[in-house]
Amino acid sequence: MKIERHLPKVRDLAPLLHFATPEFNARKRRLEKALTIYDLRKIAQRRTPKAAFDYTEGAAEAEISLARARQAFEDIQFNPSILRDVSVVDTTSTVLGGTVALPFGIAPTGFTRMMQSEGEIAGASAAAAAGIPFSLSTMGTTAIEDVKAANPDGRNWFQLYMWKDRDRSMALVDRAAKAGFDTLLVTVDVPVAGARLRDKRNGFSIPPQLTLGTVVNAIPRPEWWINFLTTEPLAFASLDRWSGTVAELLDTMFDPTVTFEDLAWIKDQWPGKVVVKGVQNLDDAKKIATMGIDGIVLSNHGGRQLDRAPIPFHLLPDVAREVGSDLEVHLDTGIMSGADIVAAIALGADFTLVGRAYLYGLMAGGREGVDRMIQILGDQIARTMRLLGVTSLEELTPAHVTQLERLAPRALGGAARTAPRPSTSPKSSPPKGGPRKSPVAG
């Protein structure tokens, strides 16, 4: 049958001719095109000098821990329920005694103004607007009081590295308490600095050294250098100035003698909530649960300390089941999407922290970039919940997630020679104990 053709009339074309209003703000234009955290990462890499970007991007030694942590989130299967009314979803929850609008907060990050000149002020103000906690690192580059001013009514957490100079460490803790920070994150996985080879190869130092290589690398990134050279000199939440490499600074500061007794002493000095960050096995989690600590963060420091460290997401089901009724279980390392966060909550996490995702947003567009990062993760969380058939975080259970096996421990001794190959079939994670989450039928 022959198709009849005719020239289109103007009135037929008119409904099709809708042109988007041009966006003349270059920052807004590029951020609107970012649909994932990986998109923000690409923008950040284009706009940030190599040494600063690699400080964010890199991990310890061969960077195996970071790669495994990210792979663990990819190696899951979601198990949705259908025919549920998911027209409205609630992403709020109660964390450490306060309400949060989303199940993630901004993790403590060091040298933040080195990544982008707005630094912690951008992160704290974006967190305030979104209703999520902001964490200031001991190695942060904005004063405690200035972060409080940027987030006066929100949740501010202070992350503590116990230094060899303990009086100086506790002076920071006292400042944070007086400024109204509500939670102390005690990081316990840094007795010494990890071997961050990218930083060594880049000669990453504070402040940046102007070499021929850095000058050449700066040519396509003039905005970063203009901002760096025309804003306040880099200073720290914890010290005024440092001239040397990052590794030298960390090794000067970190105290390898800190023990559980020191943790108990620190807890007694702090009036608010105390969370221990850097827990990497079940036995340590159990011991901390007997100390009256309010929460733990399962974390291998974003892969930046011990390479080949345990994968926090793999530890989560057992830890949540064993100690989840005694303290809150939080998680970081490897999170790059809202789906990752939903999977963590389903397997028993009370809360999550994002570090690199935050810095990618910051480097991509300052405060607006952090806002975009939060928006991307929030949209992904809500969409994943709807597709799973749940309307609140409380409805998420281990039944919604199957952890697929890729890495399985090898049997020890003679058993290794006779044992059959590990099964490649999916393995469901055990449910978290306690009444907080109830299963969803399906």
Residue 277 CB neighbour total at 10 angstroms: 26
User: Following DSSP, what letter does each residue of 32-63 receive, concatenated?
Assistant: HT--SHHHHHHHHHHHS-HHHHHHHH--STT-
Let me know: does 353 contact 297? Beta carbons within 8 Å. Answer: yes
Q: Which two tokens stand for residue 40?
A: 């923000």
Longest CA pairwise span in the chain (Å): 90
Q: Which two tokens stand for residue 58?
A: 């890199």
Q: Which residues of 404-427 are buried (b: 16+ CB within 10 A; e: fewer)?
A: eeeeeeeeeeeeeeeeeeeeeeee
User: Which DSSP helix (H) or strand (E) runs through 24?
Assistant: none
**Cα–Cα distance, 26 to 353 (Å, whole number):** 29
**Cα–Cα distance, 147 to 156 (Å, whole number):** 8
Q: Which residues contact 38 (CB under 8 A, 6 or more apart)?
A: 336
Task: Specify burial of residue 167 (Cβ count, 10 A radius: 0-12, 13-18, 19+).
Answer: exposed
The shares of helix, strand and coil residues in the chain, as percent rounded to the nearest 5, are 45, 15, 45
Let me know: does 133 contact 150? Beta carbons within 8 Å. Answer: no
Give the CA angle between residues 28, 366, 24 to the nearest 5°.
20
Q: Which two tokens stand for residue 103?
A: 């199940």
Q: Which of 6, 301, 314, 330 is catalytic?
A: 301
User: Which DSSP helix (H) or strand (E) runs through 278?
Assistant: strand 273-279
- Is 301 one of the annotated active-site residues of the chain? yes
Q: Which two tokens stand for residue 96?
A: 């450490």
Q: By C-alpha distance, which of 291, 310, 286, 270 is closest to 189?
A: 310
Task: Specify burial of residue 432 (Cβ count, 10 A radius: 0-12, 13-18, 19+).
Answer: buried
**Cα–Cα distance, 359 to 366 (Å, whole number):** 9
Residue 203 CB neighbour total at 10 angstroms: 14
Let me know: does 95 contact 350? Beta carbons within 8 Å. Answer: yes
Q: Which residues are catalytic?
A: 301
